[in-house]
Chain A
Amino acid sequence: MCTTCGCGDTELVPVELHEKILAGNDRTARHNREHFLEAGVLALNLMGSPGAGKTAVLEATARAAAARGWRLGAVSADLATDNDAVRLQKAGIPSRAITTGQACHLDAELVHRSLHDLPWQQTDVFFIENVGNLVCPAIYDLGEAASVVVLSVTEGEDKPLKYPTMFLEADLVLISKCDLIPHLDFDMARLEDALARVMPTPRALKVSARTGEGMDAWVAWIAAKRLELGMVGRVAGLGAALQGPGRGAGR
């Protein structure tokens, strides 16, 4: 009611909110993050263009991790098929597909629901393979401990400048398909310069899923990330001597 004269007219009230539009997603992401941390599971959000080699990197990661006794898990998002999850499953990574239909990205709720169907608590490293897209997935926090962008050498050195938001929040860039460099006019210095203009502390590793180049460094990065977060299970002990008979204090 109008407070000036009590006439019963309605009033126009400006309400200041100053609230992030994705606040709801961020709340669910925090919830996911707490679950992952409590279970001692390192969750990684893997993003990149369609065809950048996200699934191939994970297949190669499975090979590198098997020798170390790591337990991996994954959910793999795809607009229409479950091809990637099937590939990961074949590579020995227990996986589920998240078919997003028209949605061009994963959100925290989709990830949360998919976790109900997977024994993710029994993993050391859990990959969330996002929809192939260098734009939309960038702004959705999923509750991951770190985000990793896979950028292949065939995509062009200026991609970071064209898609700055994707790279801005990335903890690591995996420069994939490096075995192709001899066949391309690819300039690594140009790519590194582009990354330095969109990431304040750029971190990139050259990898090839085909030859295995760089996989040791990638696996060491994962192990260091687990240590940094106080996850002191099997993954932390890279050397066999460090692997005790049990699961370690962090489990």
Chain B
Amino acid sequence: MHEYSLVEALIGRVEAEARKRGALAVHGLSVRVGELAGVDPELFQTAYDTFRAGTICAQAPLTLRRVPASWTCSRCRAPIPRGEVLRCAACGEPARLDEGSDALTLDAVDLEVP
């Protein structure tokens, strides 16, 4: 259950951004979770809801966007279906994981500034 330590890092980053911009409050944040990011989105949400109390994020809902994993051939760019052997059937090259498939990214924060 590493979701708690991830949420700790997330809130720390938001606090730093809020401080930098002299924000009075945080009104929301959006996070992107790739299917292969090694993060359970529901656990992450629960961890966030538990951890945000008493922090600058206390009133900030978290919007999670899930990104399904996808693969393409590293040469011909043909899509390689999920669950298949990760090698292109046509040219034999290994598959490449598409961007975002394994990402855990803080996309945006809504800050209330004076």
* A residues lining the B interface (CB < 8 Å): 1, 10-25, 103-105, 107, 135-136, 138-140, 164-166, 168, 193, 196-201
Contacts of B10 in A (CB 8 A): 21
Interface string of B62-100 (1 = CB under 8 A from A): 000000000100100000000111110000001111000
Residue pair A14, B2 in contact (C-beta under 8 Å): no
Asked if B58 CB lies within 8 Å of chain A CBs, one says: no
Asked if B114 CB lies within 8 Å of chain A CBs, one says: yes
Rounded to whole angstroms, the CA-CA distance of A152 and B38 in the bound complex is 21
Contacts of B106 in A (CB 8 A): 17-21
Option from B83, B97, B112 in Cβ contact (under 8 Å) with A197 = B83
Residue pair B21, A21 in contact (C-beta under 8 Å): no
A18 CB to closest chain B CB (Å) equals 6
In the complex, residue of chain A having the shortest beta-carbon distance to the beta carbon of B3 = A136
Interface string of B8-38 (1 = CB under 8 A from A): 0110110001000101100100010000111
* B residues lining the A interface (CB < 8 Å): 1-2, 5-6, 9-10, 12-13, 17, 21, 23-24, 27, 31, 36-39, 71, 74, 83-87, 94-97, 102-114
Residue pair B104, A139 in contact (C-beta under 8 Å): yes
Residue pair B105, A18 in contact (C-beta under 8 Å): yes
Contacts of A15 in B (CB 8 A): 17, 21, 108-111
In the complex, residue of chain A having the shortest beta-carbon distance to the beta carbon of B2 = A136
User: Can you list the 3 inter-chain pairs with the closest CB atoms, starting with the nearest?
Assistant: A200-B94, A165-B38, A136-B2
Contacts of A25 in B (CB 8 A): 9
In the complex, residue of chain B having the shortest beta-carbon distance to the beta carbon of A168 = B36
Rounded to whole angstroms, the CA-CA distance of A198 and B97 in the bound complex is 10
Option from B17, B86, B102 in Cβ contact (under 8 Å) with A200 = B86
Contacts of B84 in A (CB 8 A): 197
Residue pair A139, B112 in contact (C-beta under 8 Å): no
In the complex, residue of chain A having the shortest beta-carbon distance to the beta carbon of B24 = A10
Rounded to whole angstroms, the CA-CA distance of A168 and B1 in the bound complex is 19
Rounded to whole angstroms, the CA-CA distance of A60 and B31 in the bound complex is 44
B22 CB to closest chain A CB (Å) equals 11
B57 CB to closest chain A CB (Å) equals 13
A196 and B37 in contact, given A11-B113, A12-B112, A20-B103 (Cβ under 8 angstroms): no
Task: Pick from B9, B84, B95 the residue with the most CB of A within 10 Å.
Answer: B9
A105 and B105 in contact, given A19-B13, A200-B86 (Cβ under 8 angstroms): no
Option from B9, B12, B37, B94 in Cβ contact (under 8 Å) with A201 = B94
Option from B1, B86, B103, B112 in Cβ contact (under 8 Å) with A198 = B86
A139 and B37 in contact, given A10-B24, A196-B86, A200-B86 (Cβ under 8 angstroms): yes
In the complex, residue of chain A having the shortest beta-carbon distance to the beta carbon of B69 = A164
List 13 A–B pairs whose Cβ atoms lie within 8 Å, in order of A's numbering. Answer: A1-B114, A12-B111, A13-B21, A13-B113, A14-B109, A14-B111, A17-B106, A21-B105, A24-B12, A104-B1, A197-B84, A200-B86, A201-B94
